[in-house]
Amino acid sequence: MKNIALLSLLLGLITQSLIGQTIPSKEWQIKTALMAVPADYKEGAKVYGYDASGKFVTLREGTNDYIALAHDSKKEKFSTAAYHKELDPFMARGRALRAQGKDGKEIFDIREEEVKSGKLKMPDKTTLCIFSGKVNPETLEIENPYVRYVFYIPFATGESTGLPTTPTPPGHAWIMNPGTHRAHIMITPPKS
């Protein structure tokens, strides 16, 4: 009997740890996801997030060209993102591959091959905004907000853009993943 009680307690703790963070309310997810969206597009942006079971769902339909992603509560660091709708097939493919258990390198390689073959559409230029910060556990407000901008220009190189290909000081531009489908200009503003 004692072993059954201990086993039940252990299973309860394991279940609780697997469930992890509670999923924030739909309203909070929408509010914080929109922090990544440029001001001109906030009102009509589509928002993806998570339902009470943790399933990735559409939280709000959109009426403009922007899509926002709510924070994934399974991840420790708070981060939301927003991008132009033309990037959605690329992003959706990454999510699908991750759901299949693929790691970052596998996802990169698969999408590289699919973009090169034309199977996966990648816009010739588009943006991604990433909003990060720390969630105040008492107020649920985002403290120390931080925005990073990414400008995708597939297959661009340092030579074709005139940009360095190694990280530069905050506030300066550089090209990451040069020569690949994921070539993008990174601009990281200084933290205040």
Mean pLDDT across 121-127 = 93
Contact residues for 86 (Cβ-Cβ < 8 A; gap 6+)? 65, 121, 123, 126
Mean pLDDT across 77-82 = 96
Angle at 115 between CA 183 and CA 163, to 5 degrees: 15
Mean pLDDT across 146-151 = 90
- The reported pTM is 0.82
Q: With beta carbons less than 8 A apart as the criterion, state whether 9 and 17 touch.
A: no
Q: Which residue has the higher pLDDT, 16 or 36?
A: 36
Q: Does any domain span residue 31?
A: yes
Q: With beta carbons less than 8 A apart as the criterion, state whether 132 and 79 touch.
A: yes
> Based on the structure, what is the number of domains in the chain?
1
Mean pLDDT across 3-26 = 51
On the question of pLDDT at 74 being above 50, the answer is yes
135 CB-side CA count, 13 A: 18
pLDDT value for 10: 37
- Residue range(s) defining the domain that contains residue 123: 24-187
On the question of pLDDT at 17 being above 60, the answer is no
On the question of pLDDT at 189 being above 50, the answer is yes
Q: How far apart are CA 180 and CA 14, in angstroms?
A: 41
Q: How far apart are CA 66 and CA 47, in angstroms?
A: 9
Is 11 strand, coil or helix? helix
Q: Does any domain span residue 10?
A: no
pLDDT band at 11 (very low <50, low <70, confident <90, very high): very low
Q: Does any domain span residue 152?
A: yes
Q: Does any domain span residue 13?
A: no
On the question of pLDDT at 14 being above 60, the answer is no
pLDDT value for 108: 97
